[in-house]
């Protein structure tokens, strides 16, 4: 069966490419007029942006049947996710770089995370998302620290039409073959949103409940491979838009519970249970004022309060009682708060020159039993960029950022330059250089995490990271004709890091991990993507090849077991969407191949000596098939199958001593082939 499906997918990809190139003289990319805001002076089309921006729109999100942001991004080329099933969290990797180098934004406001994993990515209500904008490559001038690999900006829905709109959603999904209707086994999601707009005022309030009872485990529902997770998410937004003034206030709330029930010890009929609870409260006030066609002011103030607690109990099955345990890290509350202030001025000097100066202040504080000395880090920055149009063909955007960090001596100036050259009506070329800077986060400096499965401590002696990064892209867009559209994008990147922060053993003979500055690190790679549409058919095909180089700070203490400089990994993705008008139904097939992923690790060789080894994560295939149909004016129905190839874990040949935690040798990918069905309701009154 697997070979049949793989053959069908291969045929679809070949057909997609052959058809596209057969029509290449009369095709055009249909999404070039889509507006983007990330890194822009003002909303503008993809075609005009000096940045290479990838957009995942609301229609693509709905067609995927996704219940979280990870499922939306999982089929995108360049993205990989690594799950820590011991804690129930998942981290993102973008073009070979870890999540700590990826900036996650919610309407331009940075998200707060406790640890290295970007778990905040899956703590956003997917039903509130209008689109996701992804800019790969350093965005340090515009967005400061953490933006070395790129920016993922999640744009929420805004009031559009006058009147009252009520939407509701109910979606049920199996977890592998496990399912019980509406609660208990499986994945259950409910959402309701109210949107009202009258003249200049707008109001939105919504909430979602996500409940997954985990996956796997023993006959008593314990020791699950995927932990049960329950989320309550809420948001509210009030806005005023009249003439030159646009202002809104938005609040987002999250309560999340992850429950880990340990296996029963039949010697004493007891078991260890852990509950991880997260509370996140984010408020943001954003506004813009247009003084004239040449002068605009924009400002953002945001505050996030974040708390994660761990509660560990020992359950006695004979007495049916629970008692708190006393082991290290088994009772814990970690608190983080973040304050952001950002203001920019856009001034158009002439038709050819525009300026954007700005101020950016970020303050982060933390406290808790696992965090030393209640630390605070504040980053003060002033930045300025210009957009210079040299004729009708060339657009150049140089930028500078001046940083003062309360803990580190930041580089006096962080430069960048982005260029866009229009070669012809069909071709345009983008090229960029950026100097990246990232100060160590509070978690890397002062946080220690020691329990039965983890042994990680912070390092207050870390140095700040910096990088020199280059990327380029060549885009070809055919002229539109006969409803056919087509585009090809070829891009490449090269990043050279100094003092990159990564995990390593505290010493060759230790089982404790800490953060260290890697002396040198490099990533290099390329991507090719094409999109084709004709009448009711839309399709895409992408390929990437990424190489990673690491040189550890203390290689002299290890025997080097490899002579390879760069470790390479391929990816392929494809999608086909077809709308059947007669039954008002759209069918979608999404596919992703993730090739073998090698990485340099520290461990022991065959002679039991400390050594540098190559650990490989095996390749795997992911595919989803979904369908959405419109029942009537108010109702639509969606259904499909996710993870068609039934992938749960893939093997990694790293020795046990090379792992940050001892949860096992396999890398968790998914909870197997699952089936879902959802009902969507929308009612409008003007």
pLDDT band at 628 (very low <50, low <70, confident <90, very high): very high
Q: And the tokens for 471? A: 């990327």
Classify the phi-psi angles of 105: left when phi > 0, otherwise alpha if psi is within -120 to 50, otherwise beta: beta
Q: How many CB atoms sit inside 10 A of residue 651's CB?
A: 12
From 256, 236, 227, 261, select the one nearest 122 (Cα to Cα): 256
- Report the pLDDT averaged over residues 441-465: 76
Q: Are 312 and 331 in contact (CB under 8 A)?
A: yes
Q: Tell me the torsion sign for CA atoms 660, 110, 354, 421.
A: positive
Q: Are 297 and 359 in contact (CB under 8 A)?
A: no
- Pick the range with the lowest mean pLDDT from 65-74, 458-467, 564-573: 458-467
Q: Are 191 and 206 in contact (CB under 8 A)?
A: yes
pLDDT at 67 over 50: yes
Q: And the tokens for 613? A: 């080894």
- C-alpha 73/C-alpha 648 separation (Å) is 18
pLDDT at 45: 84
If residue 679 lies in a helix (H) or strand (E), which one and from where to where?
A: strand 674-685
CATH of domain 2-349+361-685: 2.40.170.20
CA–centroid distance for 324 within its chain: 35
pLDDT in tens, 524-546: 999 999 999 888 999 999 999 99
Q: And the tokens for 304? A: 């996030």
CA atoms within a 13 Å half-sphere pointing along the CA-CB vector of 93:
14
SS3 27: coil
pLDDT at 659: 40
Q: Give me the DSSP letters along 44-71.
A: EETTT-SS-EEEEEHHHHHHHT-SSHHH
User: Which residues are 309's β-sheet partners?
Assistant: 277, 333
Beta strands in 291-375 (DSSP E): 295-316, 321-324, 331-348, 353-367
pLDDT at 480: 67
- C-alpha 94/C-alpha 498 separation (Å) is 19
pLDDT at 337 over 50: yes
Q: Which residues of 528-562 are buried (b: 16+ CB within 10 A; e: fewer)?
A: bbbbbbbeeebbbbbbbbbbbbbebeeeeebeeee
- C-alpha 432/C-alpha 138 separation (Å) is 9
User: Which residues are 538's β-sheet partners?
Assistant: 533, 577
- C-alpha 180/C-alpha 171 separation (Å) is 13
Start-to-end C-alpha separation, the chain:
51
pLDDT band at 488 (very low <50, low <70, confident <90, very high): very high
User: Which residues are 467's β-sheet partners?
Assistant: 436, 497
pLDDT band at 196 (very low <50, low <70, confident <90, very high): very high
pLDDT in tens, 290-324: 999 999 999 999 999 999 999 999 999 999 999 99
If residue 5 lies in a helix (H) or strand (E), which one and from where to where?
A: helix 2-22
Q: Give me the DSSP letters along 94-116.
A: ETTB-GGGEEEEETTEEPP-SSS
From 371, 378, 386, 384, select the one nearest 335 (Cα to Cα): 371
């Amino acid at each position: 069966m697997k070979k049949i499906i793989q053959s069908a997918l291969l045929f679809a990809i070949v057909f997609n490419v052959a058809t596209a190139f057969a029509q290449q003289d009369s095709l055009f990319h249909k999404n070039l007029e889509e507006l983007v805001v990330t890194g822009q002076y003002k909303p503008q089309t993809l075609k005009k942006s000096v940045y290479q921006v990838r957009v995942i729109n609301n229609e693509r999100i709905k067609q995927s049947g996704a219940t979280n942001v990870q499922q939306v991004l999982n089929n995108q080329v360049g993205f990989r996710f690594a799950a820590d099933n011991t804690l129930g969290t998942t981290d993102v990797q973008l073009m070979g770089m870890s999540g700590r180098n990826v900036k996650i934004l919610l309407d331009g406001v940075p998200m707060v995370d406790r640890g290295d994993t970007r778990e905040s990515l899956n703590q956003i209500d997917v039903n509130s998302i209008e689109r996701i904008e992804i800019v790969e490559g350093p965005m340090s001038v515009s967005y400061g620290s953490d933006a070395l690999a790129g920016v993922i900006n999640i744009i929420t829905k805004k009031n559009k039409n006058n009147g009252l709109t009520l939407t509701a959603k109910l979606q049920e999904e199996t977890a592998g073959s496990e399912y019980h209707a509406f609660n208990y086994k499986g994945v259950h999601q409910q959402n309701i949103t109210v949107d009202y707009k009258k003249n200049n005022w707008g109001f939105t309030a919504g909430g979602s409940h996500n409940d997954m009872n985990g996956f796997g485990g023993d006959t008593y529902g314990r020791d699950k491979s995927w932990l049960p997770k329950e989320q309550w998410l809420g948001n509210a937004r009030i806005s005023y838009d009249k003439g030159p003034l646009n202002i809104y206030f938005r609040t987002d709330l999250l309560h999340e519970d992850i429950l880990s029930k340990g296996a029963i010890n039949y010697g004493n009929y007891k078991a260890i249970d852990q509950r991880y609870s997260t509370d996140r409260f984010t408020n943001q006030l954003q506004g813009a004022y247009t003084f004239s066609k040449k002068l605009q002011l924009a400002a953002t103030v945001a505050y996030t309060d974040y708390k994660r607690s761990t509660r560990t109990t020992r359950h006695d099955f004979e007495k049916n009682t629970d008692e708190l345990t006393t082991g290290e890290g088994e009772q814990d509350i970690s608190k983080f708060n973040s304050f952001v202030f950002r203001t920019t001025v856009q001034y158009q000097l002439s038709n050819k020159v525009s300026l954007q100066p700005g101020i950016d202040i970020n303050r982060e504080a933390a406290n808790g039993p696992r965090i030393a000395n209640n630390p605070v880090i504040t980053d003060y920055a002033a930045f300025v960029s210009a957009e210079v149009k040299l004729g009708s063909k060339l657009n150049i955007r140089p930028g500078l950022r001046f940083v003062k960090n309360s803990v580190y001596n930041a580089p006096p100036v962080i430069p960048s330059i982005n260029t866009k050259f229009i070669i012809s009506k069909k071709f345009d070329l983008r090229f960029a250089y950026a100097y990246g800077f990232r100060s160590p986060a509070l978690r890397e400096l002062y946080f220690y995490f020691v329990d039965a499965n983890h042994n990680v401590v912070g390092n207050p002696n870390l140095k700040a990271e910096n990088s020199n990064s280059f990327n380029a892209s060549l885009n070809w867009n055919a002229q539109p004709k006969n409803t056919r559209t087509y585009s090809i994008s070829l891009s490449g990147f090269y990043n050279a890091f100094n003092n990159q922060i990564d995990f390593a053993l505290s010493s060759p003979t230790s089982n404790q991990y800490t953060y260290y500055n890697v002396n040198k690190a490099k990533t290099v790679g390329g991507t090719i993507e094409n999109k084709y549409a004709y009448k009711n058919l839309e399709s895409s095909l992408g390929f990437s090849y990424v190489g990673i180089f690491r040189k550890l700070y203390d290689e002299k203490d290890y025997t080097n077991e490899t002579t390879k400089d760069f470790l390479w990994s391929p990816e392929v993705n494809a999608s086909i969407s077809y709308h059947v008008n007669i039954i008002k139904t759209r069918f979608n097939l999404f596919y992703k191949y993730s090739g073998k992923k090698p990485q340099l690790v520290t461990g022991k060789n065959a002679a039991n000596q400390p050594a540098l080894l190559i650990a490989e994560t095996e390749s795997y295939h992911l595919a989803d098939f979904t369908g959405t149909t419109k029942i009537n004016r108010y109702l639509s129905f969606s259904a499909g199958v996710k993870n068609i190839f039934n992938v749960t874990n893939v093997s990694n040949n790293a020795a046990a001593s090379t792992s940050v935690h001892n949860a096992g040798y396999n890398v968790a990918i998914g909870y197997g082939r699952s089936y879902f069905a959802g009902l969507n309701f929308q009612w409008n009154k003007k």
